[in-house]
Amino acid sequence: MTADKPLRADAQRNRDVLIAKAREIFDAGDFFDLRFDDFARLAGVGTGTLYRHFPTRETLAEAVYHGEVAALCDRARQLQATLPAAEALATFLRGMVDHIAAHEGLARTLATLMADRSGALAEGSWALEQAVTDLVAAAVQDGAVRDDVDAGAVLMALHGIGAAHDRPGWRAEADDVITLVLDGLRRPL
Amino acid sequence: MTADKPLRADAQRNRDVLIAKAREIFDAGDFFDLRFDDFARLAGVGTGTLYRHFPTRETLAEAVYHGEVAALCDRARQLQATLPAAEALATFLRGMVDHIAAHEGLARTLATLMADRSGALAEGSWALEQAVTDLVAAAVQDGAVRDDVDAGAVLMALHGIGAAHDRPGWRAEADDVITLVLDGLRRPL
DNA sequence: CAAAATATGGAGGTCATCTCCATTTGTCAA
DNA sequence: TTGACAAATGGAGATGACCTCCATATTTTG
């Protein structure tokens, strides 16, 4: 896919700084209040450098997102290796809520970008989708979960949770969504 | 809340034209590809007029959204009056998916704006939330639905459906989400 | 170490957004 | 009807964010 050409040392360094700074801003939730040019200065590089590395806000977001997704996928695999399938799925989904709760701004920012022009981020989230699909498939295999609903539905529900992050009773409602999904998955009819 | 001052005749006419044109553009999904000034010309008014009526894209979206929400609420009330509670809820949710499917561009546009700065639209969707809450409450009353999950969770799931509108297998997955939610609601444990 | 390749930064062009106000249109009382 | 006041209009132009471009600097290579 991405035939990563070896990046020059300083270029790599700047790229890393940009991503790190971006994650920071994302997390604070200030990403959209900030002029893109100013972001370059904040990161200590020229605007040209910023734009060469990340032509748009979306590409930058994708880079940050990649790290998130990788971490989540690791967690999924680890759970799958150490717990019964149904429990792994439940634990993972509950954990997702914790994770989103802990990274409010980031979740909101990503949700916004996701809804906007889904192309860029959709690609980045492919791995996450795969991980969830695997978790569900394993649970189906165990007979713990019905086989007539697509794993994509679980993704959708998660997406709703992330996107609605600013609702007053978010945490309780998010937990309820997971409860509904898990209970709904359990009964074959 | 909104102490609607009586609008002058021509102002009202322009306002209506703007909303009508906006709904049209929304539905075509071209809302974000269009310069806001050009939208004014498309609607046949000056930019000043556009901005006086709708200072931002969001306020315009909210106006369109209002109509949608009103229609949906009517439907909810009608179902609630003519069907058993559990069935009314199920029919309403299934119908939501149809509705979103039929108004692709609009759904996507609203989802985007919703995620962005939720303030404006969140206010507009209060009525919809109330309608869903009523449907759920009635079903709980009937004993057809568990009472330990908040109606907000259903809203969240719907939100996820709307926001993820561009996924390849959207329709099937959306139906699955509804299935999960309904089945999840059914079992008290 | 020289030359080639690669990356940098920020000045300035471009273009969407929004403001402002001279003019037009609607309202209402006499 | 008409005059006078209020409300609304529209579009020219200011503003400022986004992005390009290239002379200069840095890294790598032979």
Q: Chain D: nucleotides under 7 Å from a protein CB?
A: 7-13, 16-22, 26-28
Sign of the Cα pseudo-torsion (A168, A170, A173, A177, in order): positive
Q: Which residue of A has its CA nearest to B178?
A: A153
Contact B153 A118 (CB under 8 A): no
Could you give the CA distance from residue B44 to residue B20 in angstroms, rounded to a whole number? 12
For residue A81, pLDDT over 80 is answered with: yes
**Three-state secondary-structure class, residue A97:** helix
Contact A181 B181 (CB under 8 A): yes
Q: Of A156, A166, A184, which is closest to B184 when you measure between CB atoms?
A: A184
DSSP structural state of residue A3: -
The predicted model gives B151-162 an average pLDDT of 91
Q: Of B112, B150, B157, which is closest to A160 when you measure between CB atoms?
A: B157
- Place B83 in a pLDDT band, splitting at 50, 70 and 90: very high
- Place B15 in a pLDDT band, splitting at 50, 70 and 90: very high
Contact A164 B180 (CB under 8 A): no
Q: Give me the pLDDT at residue B133, please.
A: 95
Share of chain A above pLDDT 70, in %: 89
Q: Is the CB of B186 under 7 A from strand D?
A: no
Q: Tell me the three-class secondary structure of B133-174, residue by residue.
A: HHHHHHHHHHCCCCCCCCHHHHHHHHHHHHHCCCCCCHHHHH
Structure tokens at A52: 């060469």
Contact B182 A182 (CB under 8 A): no
Q: Give me the pLDDT at residue B135, please.
A: 97
The predicted model gives B111-119 an average pLDDT of 62
Could you give the CA distance from residue B53 to residue B11 in angstroms, rounded to a whole number? 9
CB atoms within 10 A of CB A84: 13
Q: How close A162 gets to chain B, by Cα (Å)?
A: 8
- pLDDT-wise least confident of A78-87, A109-118, B40-49, B102-111: A109-118
Q: Give me the pLDDT at residue B147, please.
A: 94
Structure tokens at A7: 């990046």
Per the prediction, chain B carries an average pLDDT of 89
Share of chain A above pLDDT 90, in %: 65
For residue A85, pLDDT over 60 is answered with: yes
- Answer with the residue of higher pLDDT: B106 or B154: B154
The predicted model gives B20-43 an average pLDDT of 92
What is the residue-wise DSSP string for A101-113?
HHTHHHHHHHHHH
B157 touching A, CB under 8 A? yes
